[in-house]
Amino acid sequence: MAQARAFTPSQGGDPQMAALKLPPHSIEAEQSLLGGLVLDNSAWDRIADQVSEVDFYRDDHRRIFRHIARLIEAGRPADVVTVYESLEKSAEAEQAGGMAYLGEIANNTPSAANIKRYAEIVRERAILRKLVAVGDEIAASALNPAGREAKALLDEAESKVFEIKDAGARTTEGFTAIQPLLGQVVDRIQELYDREHPSDITGIPTGFHDLDMKTSGFQPGDMVIVAGRPSMGKTAFALNIAEHVALESKLPVAIFSMEMPGTQLAMRFLSSVGRLDQHRVRTGRLNDDEWQRM
């Protein structure tokens, strides 16, 4: 299998120390991934959502992957010959190593059986390289803040790291076959059928009877969006559900509000649980009975 291109250390540097500073990568995993795709085009479905062209460390590998992807997505075969022809038409054959390198990659890859793991390795190394690059940017900003305060630098650093995290999250699962999902669904239906006390509410009740009858309660994994015009009671509705789940179902609830501070949310909760008039609570005009209820 072809070796990585020689690294030329900066003039006057220590070659061994310079080699240690190579960005994280795995030439073998990249070659095996490309070879697996050439040997078995159907393996594309197993890695298409896990790795992209920019995840490859070497430029020749990025070029080869790009042309393999184009051929497969166009419904055309991608083997050594067709990939080489595609590269040649784009005047990239020489930069990609030519026919000899394509043949070497294919010959040195036994099969596509482990291609999903190869893709994971390639993707992981790409994320590490991004972390290294962002780390260098953060260090450079700290050494030369250009008048920016430390808080601004921290916010910028946090944003850059989260961008890497969000980009990496897209590759964790991959496609899911329907067969295991159907098995899980059947098991869930059987579990509901075997309950000692059958109920129309199979999830978490909201406290609103009509809503619960339509949804069977909030189910695991649900994303529920409450939409409406301003001042129509969306926040109050959501807080009432949170209150019911916390007090009646005894389940933990987290609330993230972009509109009001935590003290105002807590005041609303107090008013709701104590059955107190919110205006009287906000103004502090409570009588003895209301103080007792609060």
Spatial distance between the Cα atoms of 218 and 211, rounded to a whole number of angstroms: 10
pLDDT at position 17 is 52
pLDDT tens across 86-135, in order? 999 999 999 999 999 999 999 999 899 999 999 999 999 999 999 999 99
**pLDDT above 80 (res 20):** no
Q: Is the model more confident about 16 or about 143?
A: 143
Spatial distance between the Cα atoms of 218 and 187, rounded to a whole number of angstroms: 19
Q: Is the model more confident about 168 or about 106?
A: 106
pLDDT at position 137 is 94
pLDDT tens across 90-100, in order? 999 999 999 99
Instruction: Among 24-28, 156-160, 199-203, name the one with the lowest average pLDDT.
Output: 199-203
pLDDT tens across 206-244, in order? 999 999 999 999 998 889 999 999 888 888 898 889 989
pLDDT at position 261 is 84
Identity (one letter) of the amino acid at 209? H
Domains and CATH numbers, the chain: 21-169 (1.10.860.10), 201-293 (3.40.50.300)
pLDDT at position 193 is 86
Kindly state the average pLDDT of the residues 178-202: 86
Mean pLDDT (the chain, rounded): 86
Instruction: Among 92-96, 158-162, 199-203, 271-275, name the one with the lowest average pLDDT.
Output: 271-275
pLDDT at position 14 is 58
Kindly state the average pLDDT of the residues 154-171: 83
pLDDT tens across 257-287, in order? 877 888 888 888 888 877 777 777 777 788 8
